[in-house]
Amino acid sequence: MINHHHCDHALHHDIIEKSWLTLSLPYHDVDASLSCHTSQPSSSSPPSPPRPSPFVYTPLTPPSRRPTQTILFPQIISPTLQLFQPDSDLIIPKLLHHNSSLSQDSHQEKQEQEHVSLASTSNSAALKRCQSNQQPSCPAKRRKLKTGTIPPPFPWATSKRATLHTLDHLLSELKLKTISGTLQCKSCKFQQEVQIDLVENFKKVTKFIVETMEEMCDRAPDIWLHPVLPKCQSCGQEKAMEPLVTKKRNINWLFLLLSQTIGCCTLDDLKYFCKHNDTHRTGAKDRLLYSTYFGLCRQLQPNIDFYP
């Protein structure tokens, strides 16, 4: 009994070792080697389970169960050395993407070309302007500088701008007793020639200055700012006839002084008078009007001390 059990144990060990060796043998050899040993009955070892039959591939076998097929290089390339062409459905999206990228590149190139063309045209235009500035085709007309002397616009005016003769010169040399001036209606533009007495009206002006000098405080009173104008003889409108003023150099300053209507002048007219008489010409209209009245009085009577 002891020898029989020992033989069975040795036979079972031999079968296990041969089963490990059959992993590298073909399938039919393994079955043959196992069949020779399993034919012998054994009371101690249990019967081995039946080995499953080999897997048979059918057309219904899923792709994951199919064996891997090795493709050699000569099968990919045709005898005419033409590369394998993929499916057209797979190529179309790539071609569309490629065409869109090409169109974007071409559009960007066009924009760059337009930008370069615009820059070149602007540079050429700037170069032409520089050349025209450096070498003008015709010389530019120079602005005529205003001279200090002009033809006297009136007999009582001098050749200097906004300057009058003295009162003694007017009475003794020129033998003037009246001063003439032109009035124009603000609504109907009717013009009328007016003559006023020189000495009598100048006395009215000087008397008003003496009486109101302390109240003026270097500012023209309201009666000088808003003079009372006569009625128009044509349209009948009240306070419509004002002195006619055309150009600054042709302003009848003596007539405005004697009629006390210098307030009808604009601020630029007053600045013009102050400029050519070396008087400060910045400020409000009442200050410039005050300076103009006293400046004209000093021109007529330069030796009187009460003029500021």
Q: Which pLDDT tens digit goes with each residue over 164-194?
A: 999 999 999 999 999 999 999 999 999 999 9
Is there a domain that residue 278 lies in?
A: yes
pLDDT tens readout for residues 60-102: 666 665 555 555 544 444 444 444 454 444 444 444 444 455 4
113 vs 228: which has the higher pLDDT: 228
Q: Nearest to residue 201, comparing CAs of 257, 130, 265, 279?
A: 257
Instruction: List the helix and strand counts (H, then E) for the chain.
Output: 10, 3
Instruction: Specify the higher pLDDT residue, 243 or 40.
Output: 243
Decide if 258 is inside a domain. yes
pLDDT greater than 60 at residue 28: no
Collect all residues with Cβ–Cβ distance below 8 Å to 268 and sequence separation of at least 6.
Answer: 248
Non-local CB neighbours of 15 within 8 Å, separated by 6+ positions: 34, 37
* Summary mean pLDDT of the chain: 74
Overall average pLDDT of the 116-136 stretch: 58
Residue 265 pLDDT: 96
Whether 275 is covered by a domain: the verdict is yes
E-assigned strands of the chain? 178-185, 191-197, 241-243
Taking residues 217-240, report their average pLDDT.
94
Number of domains within the chain? 1
Q: Examine the pLDDT at 42 and tell me if it is beyond 50.
A: no
pLDDT given at position 74: 46
Global confidence as pTM:
0.55
- Evaluate whether residue 286 is within a structural domain: yes
Domain contains 220: yes
Q: Which domain covers residue 241, as residue numbers?
A: 167-300
Is 205 within the bounds of a domain? yes
Q: Does residue 252 form part of some domain?
A: yes
For residue 265, what are the β-bridge partners? none
